[in-house]
Amino acid sequence: MKYASVTERLADLGGAKWEIHARARRMKAEGTAVLEFTIGEPDVPCPPELMETAARAMLSGRTGYSNGQGEPGLLRALAARYSIRRGRHIGPEQVMCFPGTQTTLYAVFMAIAEAGAEVIVGDPMYATYEGLIRATGATPVPVTLRPERGFRLDPADVAAAVTPDTRAIFLNTPHNPTGAVLTREDIAAISEVARAHDLWIVSDEVYEDLVFEGVHFTSPLDLAELADRSITCASISKSHAAPGFRSGWCVGPAEFCARLLPLSETMLFGNQPFIADMTTQAVSHPSPVAPGMAARFAARATMIHDKLHGTAGLRVHRPDAGMFALVDVRATGLSGEAFAQSLLDAEHVAVMPGESFGAALSGWLRLALTQPDAAIAEGCTRIARHAARFRADAA
């Protein structure tokens, strides 16, 4: 039988990147106690009032078909939210709703990229980004994010990566896996590149509400001069601890949303009205759980830094936002993949190898900050012990 070429383009971009996570889950299912620091699952349940809203909506009959753009009440709520946050008018015609940020990004790139096009994206990047771009037929052009810049995308590097085939600049701020937050100056400089070459800017901002104290978040939508070329994507998965509800959206130019609508209708023919009602409530009020998560994750990042930085040659990058910290294990002589695999075998600690997020993070680990403090402390003890084994061997 014959298959579409997209299956070949994505053949090595799926579950293989999460192999350690899957192996840890198998070990746990077989009875082995594993400390799991792999995925970004919120450390609190979805707020009960949101689940109650969804339940009431279902019981009241909000289980029929919706439409391709989204429920009118949610569109108005998101337009109001972004008008307030971004400081300029955003209308409902500039909003599209999808099941989660991942689906949103897929639809957005299907609408702006195609075979022969290039998309500039920071390296490291979230594990699905390469697949999102390649699914369209376009080519991802990775731009290295350097630790000495705090892993923030350098506008000069973006400018150097532009070719006649470039179609878009793909931002992720706050960034996964590094926790970097682009400054207003960064985005203004990137905007000059986008305007000079007539490029789209797509910004994944799902971690916006998990910015740590003292750090200022800026969106491309904050800059009026980018209004005709910026598309922001987000969801309630992180901000409201509701990843299982799969409720996301994009905000962009009205013309873009109008062109995206037929694609959305082809893919989904509407979202679930009862989830839309829950999301309307969520985005119309400050999150009751995000501030606590941000404070805990920041404190745990500091704990990891204090326990591991400088121990057995390890170095820790402290994030400015999000759910993850990075540990540089290159002093052990191992790749991130080899260290993570052997750590799981020897110490029953599961972490993500940096190589899952791009070549620029080779020799690093990503640790989720979503486990309790005691688990974080014990995990650090085991990681340090494991690193010391290889430092002793090298000596």
pLDDT tens-digit series, residues 358-390: 999 999 999 999 999 999 999 999 999 999 998
Which pLDDT belongs to residue 13? Answer: 76
| Helix residue ranges, H only, the chain | 5-9, 19-29, 48-59, 72-86, 100-112, 129-135, 155-161, 184-196, 254-267, 273-283, 290-308, 336-347, 373-394
Q: Looking at this protein, which amino acid is placed at residue 219?
A: S
Give 102-157 pLDDT, tens digit per residue: 999 999 999 999 999 999 999 999 999 999 999 999 999 999 999 999 999 999 99
The answer to whether residues 19 and 61 belong to one domain is no
Q: What pTM was computed for the model?
A: 0.95
Give 226-235 pLDDT, tens digit per residue: 999 999 999 9
The answer to whether residues 278 and 320 belong to one domain is no
Look at residues 122, 155, 150, 144 and name the one whose alpha carbon lies nearest to residue 321.
Answer: 150
The answer to whether residues 94 and 24 belong to one domain is no
Range of the domain at 232: 48-284
Q: Cα(395)–Cα(391) distance, rounded to whole angstroms?
A: 6
Q: Which of 250, 284, 318 is the last residue of a domain?
A: 284
The answer to whether residues 244 and 343 belong to one domain is no
Q: Which of 253, 284, 315 is the last residue of a domain?
A: 284
User: Could you tell me the CATH number of the domain that includes residue 313?
Assistant: 3.90.1150.10
Lookup: tokens for 123: 């390296």
Q: Cα(209)–Cα(215) distance, rounded to whole angstroms?
A: 11
The answer to whether residues 242 and 212 belong to one domain is yes
The answer to whether residues 69 and 115 belong to one domain is yes
Contact 181, 173 (CB under 8 A): yes
Distances (CA, A) of 109 to 7, 201, 257, 299, 370: 17, 11, 12, 36, 30
The answer to whether residues 59 and 95 belong to one domain is yes
Q: Cα(266)–Cα(309) distance, rounded to whole angstroms?
A: 50
The answer to whether residues 179 and 84 belong to one domain is yes
Provide mean pLDDT across the span 54-81. 96
Classify 192 as helix, strand or coil. Answer: helix
Lookup: tokens for 127: 């594990």
Look at residues 71, 57, 41 and name the one whose alpha carbon lies nearest to residue 268.
Answer: 71
The answer to whether residues 227 and 133 belong to one domain is yes
The answer to whether residues 174 and 222 belong to one domain is yes
The answer to whether residues 181 and 326 belong to one domain is no
Q: Which of 284, 317, 347 is the last residue of a domain?
A: 284
User: Could you tell me the CATH number of the domain that includes residue 65?
Assistant: 3.40.640.10
Q: How many domains does the chain have?
A: 2
Q: Say yes or no to pLDDT of 394 above 90.
A: no
The answer to whether residues 273 and 293 belong to one domain is no
Sign of CA dihedral 116, 132, 356, 215: positive
Q: Say yes or no to pLDDT of 39 above 80.
A: yes
Which pLDDT belongs to residue 223? Answer: 95
